[in-house]
Structure 1
Amino acid sequence: MMATAGAREDIGVSFLDAQLLVDCKNLLGEGVQWHPRRRRLFWTDIKGQALWSCDEVGGNLKTKALDAPLCSFAFCDDGRMLGAFADGLAWLDPITGQRRLFEDYQTEAVGVRMNDGGVDRQGRFVVGGIDEAERKPITPVWSVDRGRVRVVIDDVAIANSIAFSPDGRVMYFTDTVEGEIRAYDYNPATGTPSKRRSFVSLGEGEGKPDGSTVDVEGGLWNARFGGGAVARYLPDGTLDTIIRVPVPNVTSCALGGPTMRRLFITTAQIEMTPAMLDANPQAGGLYVVDVPVRGIQQVSYKR
């Protein structure tokens, strides 16, 4: 009952419609991930300073208030999370909400915080930042490898779309203000991206690229902030599928559920006027659509 309407074909592109799963009204829903062992979905409301979770049909909904904005996170095998908070990296207990900060993130810079992150196939957490104040390219992207932090990309305004190909040899990334998703060769042994190239650029009216996930066929699913959609691109950059989301600010997506064929989609209320919010009362909700391709099981951060 939570699945989509049927698909249609239009110049080779499939269209599906997402449906509301949880009317959570997040200010900035982000970082959605499926935890296969717990059989639960987790996501964060960055501006609402809360960690949310539910089962695959939106039931057993839980929310945990946090003492700082949680921007993205990685699961750990011991039940904790590695959290990228606004002020830095911390170990987070998702049950109690308690955290222990261990690495500050540019605390001297006004308006700068951590942002999107993703775990590579070897268990490193790759995470970037955002200059919320001026959208200037002044933040680094970190690779967190067994507690060791190093910079792998520099001079970024808004880090997003951090995801990895099934074999772990391609890393996807965007500086959202540029409107372009990049691809890099990625060395699984060292966790080093190289040979930057353009993967896809969004056109006028399509929104800006936000969070992404990759499926077993190597398709990249990318949320379009301001574009009311999630787009799937084939490994060669060809547009394959559009998921229409009935609110404009689409922020992140993840494949999960028992069959790994449910695409969960977070949205946001930020950057919407009162008139826009009146016209989109379910903005900030969690959406879902069933798709014909499986996701890849989330890798835990290796401590």
Structure 2
Amino acid sequence: MEQVPTSILSLEPCHLGEGPTYDVTTDTAWWFDIREGRLFEAHLGSSSVRVHALGRMASALGRIDAERQLIVAEDGLYIRQLADGAMTLFRPLEVDNPATRSNDSRVHQSGTFWIGTMGRKAEPGAGAIYALHGGKISTLFPGISIPNSICFSPDGATGYFADTARAVLYAVPLNPATGLPRTEPEVLLRHTGIGGLDGSVVDADGQIWNACWGAGRIDIYSPQGERLRSLRVPARQASCPAFVGPDLSRLLVTSAWQDMDATARAADPEAGRTFLLEASARGRAEPDVKLA
């Protein structure tokens, strides 16, 4: 496992840190503490970090424009105004199923938003992956236990997602113009050994950077599913990466202290903190989500 220069972006531990993204136009990173209903905002240039209470569990966001974000929350999609944090429901999602919540999600290059849900207790098959496209939500893949690793190839022609509970990362051909599947997904790789497949992001070369939950590392895979490298993360439960910085060469990694007792937390003192890895990556900027 490689050790690259690493710093702590936020000392505030997240119960379940997830959903990092970066707005290159403002040099601002965003991520969530799902369990505590918190949204973190970090301006990288000044190292200032703000925490916003959302009043509900949320897991991901997409930038709409310079004034608005689309927040993926436990009961639906909300438009959030950056100026004052006001949130307005845009589309309900699984609002009639209190046993589920949102999880890993990401915006395709076309502006289509893939959104994952799961059981609050990770019940088998309780979740799904949806697409917000043309203002409407449709089901892409039902029966998912823990949806993770939603990300897309640089040309938008391949989508990836994992079911962490099954230890499988899937690849599916997409229509690049819509971000919607052309055929059924196929198994790209089966994870073995310590840890599990959590959040992922794809770089400009098509390599998949995956947070290995429980193993304290980022695994980098080829588009064919071959593991190329592993980078150390100072917390065992690394949860999701994002490319950040003006040249998108640094890697922000969230983590969690979820399900850790006092002994486990003492043995893993950085658990839940948010890190910056000097990864020398060839990252890509996240696209804006399209509402219609």
Q: TM-score higher than 0.5 here?
A: yes
1:200 is aligned to 2:189:
yes
Cα shift at 1:57: 5.9
Supply the AA of the counterpart residue of 2:188: F
- For residues 1-303 of structure 1, what are the structure 2 equivalents within 5 Å? 16=4, 18-56=6-44, 59-193=47-181, 194-205=183-194, 207-303=195-291
Cα shift at 1:31: 0.6
Cα shift at 1:75: 0.7
CA contact (8 A) 1:179 1:201 kept: yes
CA contact (8 A) 2:170 2:185 kept: yes
Cα shift at 1:214: 0.7
Go from structure 1 to structure 2 and tell me whether the alpha carbon gap of 1:17 and 1:177 turns closer, same or farther (over 3 Å shift). Answer: farther
Q: Give the structure 2 partner of residue 4 of structure 1.
A: none
Q: Give the structure 2 partner of residue 10 of structure 1.
A: none
Could you give the per-residue CA deviations for residues 30-84 of structure 1, whole angstroms, max 9, x where no partner exists?
1111101111111111112111111336711111111111111111114211111
Structure 2: runs of 5 or more not aligned: none
Supply the AA of the counterpart residue of 1:186: L
Structure 1: runs of 5 or more not aligned: 1-12
Cα shift at 1:97: 2.7
Could you give the per-residue CA deviations for residues 206-250 of structure 1, whole angstroms, max 9, x where no partner exists?
x11111111000010011111111111111211112111121111
Distance 1:178 1:223 in 2: 16
Give the aligned CA root-mean-square deviation in angstroms: 1.7
Q: What SS class does the counterpart of residue 184 from structure 2 fall into?
A: strand
Q: Given the two structures, how large is their TM-score scaled by the length of structure 2? A: 0.94
Go from structure 1 to structure 2 and tell me whether the alpha carbon gap of 1:163 and 1:91 turns closer, same or farther (over 3 Å shift). Answer: same
Aligned length: 290
Supply the AA of the counterpart residue of 1:223: A
Report percent identity of matched pairs: 28
Go from structure 1 to structure 2 and tell me whether the alpha carbon gap of 1:46 and 1:278 turns closer, same or farther (over 3 Å shift). Answer: same
Distance 1:49 1:134 in 2: 18
Cα shift at 1:109: 2.6
Q: What SS class does the counterpart of residue 61 from structure 1 fall into?
A: strand
Cα shift at 1:149: 1.0
Q: What SS class does the counterpart of residue 185 from structure 2 fall into?
A: strand
CA contact (8 A) 2:109 2:179 kept: no
Q: What SS class does the counterpart of residue 195 from structure 1 fall into?
A: coil
Moved over 6 A (4+): none
CA contact (8 A) 1:15 1:241 kept: no
Go from structure 1 to structure 2 and tell me whether the alpha carbon gap of 1:48 and 1:126 turns closer, same or farther (over 3 Å shift). Answer: same
Q: Given the two structures, how large is their TM-score scaled by the length of structure 1? A: 0.91
Cα shift at 1:262: 0.2
Distance 1:239 1:92 in 2: 38
